[in-house]
Chain A
Amino acid sequence: MPVICTANPKGGSGKSTSTLILATTLAAKGASVCIIDADPNQNIHDWRHNGTPDTSVQVFGGVKEDDIISVIEEKASEFQFVFVDLEGTASLLVSRAIAFSDFVLIPIQASAMDVRQAAKAIRAIRNEEKVRQRSNPEATIPYRMLLVRGPAAGAPVTRSQKRLEAEIAETGSPLFRTSLAQREAFKVMFESRKTLPELVDAGNLEGALANAEEVAGELIQIIADLEAA
């Protein structure tokens, strides 16, 4: 516990980046963490198995619609945190992972396309929730949207982002208070197949580490609050 899946039917919305940053940050703090790489691109699986990152995070790839549920169940009994990185499509594999997760993280960039596709993920979550509630009226599938590739702390916020913030606020969809900024280090992590602390010459590394910890801290707080509730 918990199983956290990252979902947004739009490709390139930052699912793999968010997953990797959060998982490695929690592992660096001593948590036992695994990532189920259910994205056919297998970017995280490649990062772990074709590189030598200094991390305890274990990565399992190659899952399909038929085995995603059993893999989630198996890993949830072994690790404190199970992240599921999903493909950028509206597929059965994605919906099954959502149905069997404790928390859904929906990364979005400040673009109307990302937000529209995020709405699709939210519809799927609500439908799955209704199914769960047939056996347990109290059951929910909590979720939050997370802004990724946004401006760094202190940088000016674009007008389009402000408009989207207002639109999202109107819908009442829950958002992370923190966001993952557009940072060179987050890209270099994948290129060099290393963890953030191992990187050199990757822009403002201190800023990236602080940002990663902020978002991971909020994630932990959200899940702890959900469990307490």
Chain B
Amino acid sequence: MGFGLDESDDKKPVVTSEALSKFKPRQAPKPVANVIESDVAAAQAGFISREPKPKKAVRPTKPKQEVEQSFQLCMRLPSSTLDQFVAFATKHKLSYPKAMQKLLDGFRG
């Protein structure tokens, strides 16, 4: 037979009770290598985790704020009024729509 089995070797291995009785359960845990180092060494030989990873918790997203419908406003203004409005918006660091809203709020209040 192949793989080193010499046909002329008639002394076949057998399992005896005596041989088995020499083996005992471990009395103390085996001193072992660091698992992290061991995993790194394994990865070098292509042995990597194949188990599915637990899914990451998904952060709940903020509900979208409803946006009010908007329209284009196009009008002619005296130059001084336009300059005044632009100066107001610039001073308060507001966009033109927000500047107009602020002016309206002030008028109402």
Does B19 contact A1, Cβ atoms closer than 8 Å?
no
Which of chain B's residues have a CB closer than 8 A to the CB of A102?
Answer: 30
Does A120 contact B45, Cβ atoms closer than 8 Å?
yes
Interface stretch of the complex, out of B47-55, B71-79, B96-104: B47-55
Which of chain B's residues have a CB closer than 8 A to the CB of A99?
Answer: 32-33, 35, 38, 42
Q: Give chain A interface residues in 146-185, CB to chain B under 8 Å.
A: 147, 150-155, 157, 161-162, 165, 168, 175-179
Which of chain A's residues have a CB closer than 8 A to the CB of B26?
Answer: 1, 73, 76-77
The answer to the question of B58 belonging to the interface, with a C-beta cut-off of 8 Å to chain A, is: no
A92 is contacted by which of B13, B20, B27, B48 (Cβ under 8 Å)? B48
Given contacts A65-B51, A76-B30, A77-B26, contact A90 B46 (CB under 8 A): yes
Q: How far is the CB of B35 from chain A (nearest CB, A)?
A: 7
> How many angstroms from the CA of A214 to the CA of B42 in the assembled complex?
33
Does A26 contact B15, Cβ atoms closer than 8 Å?
yes
Does B1 contact A179, Cβ atoms closer than 8 Å?
yes
Q: Mark A200-223, 1 if CB is under 8 A from B, else 0.
A: 000000000010011111101101
The answer to the question of B107 belonging to the interface, with a C-beta cut-off of 8 Å to chain A, is: no
Q: Give chain A interface residues in 38-88, CB to chain B under 8 Å.
A: 64-65, 69, 73, 76-81, 87
> How many angstroms from the CA of A94 to the CA of B42 in the assembled complex?
9
Nearest CB in chain B to that of A81: its residue: B23
> How many angstroms from the CA of A61 to the CA of B37 in the assembled complex?
26
Interface size on B, residues (CB 8 A): 41
The answer to the question of A127 belonging to the interface, with a C-beta cut-off of 8 Å to chain B, is: yes
Query: Size range of the interface on A?
Result: 35 or more
Does B37 contact A134, Cβ atoms closer than 8 Å?
yes
Given contacts A26-B15, A73-B30, A91-B49, contact A161 B2 (CB under 8 A): yes
> How many angstroms from the CA of A104 to the CA of B61 in the assembled complex?
51
A residues with a Cβ closer than 8 A to B are: 1-2, 25-26, 29-32, 64-65, 69, 73, 76-81, 87, 89-96, 98-100, 102, 110, 120, 123-124, 126-128, 130-132, 134-136, 147, 150-155, 157, 161-162, 165, 168, 175-179, 210, 213-218, 220-221, 223-224, 227
Besides the known contacts A155-B1, A214-B13, A220-B20, 13 further A-B residue pairs in the complex with CB atoms under 8 A apart: A29-B17, A87-B50, A91-B50, A92-B42, A92-B50, A95-B38, A98-B42, A124-B47, A132-B32, A135-B33, A162-B2, A177-B6, A178-B12
Can you name 30 A-B pairs with beta carbons within 8 Å?
A1-B24, A26-B20, A29-B16, A29-B20, A69-B32, A90-B46, A91-B51, A94-B47, A99-B33, A99-B38, A100-B30, A100-B32, A123-B45, A124-B41, A124-B46, A126-B45, A127-B41, A128-B38, A128-B41, A131-B34, A151-B2, A157-B1, A176-B3, A178-B12, A213-B14, A217-B12, A217-B15, A220-B13, A223-B23, A224-B19
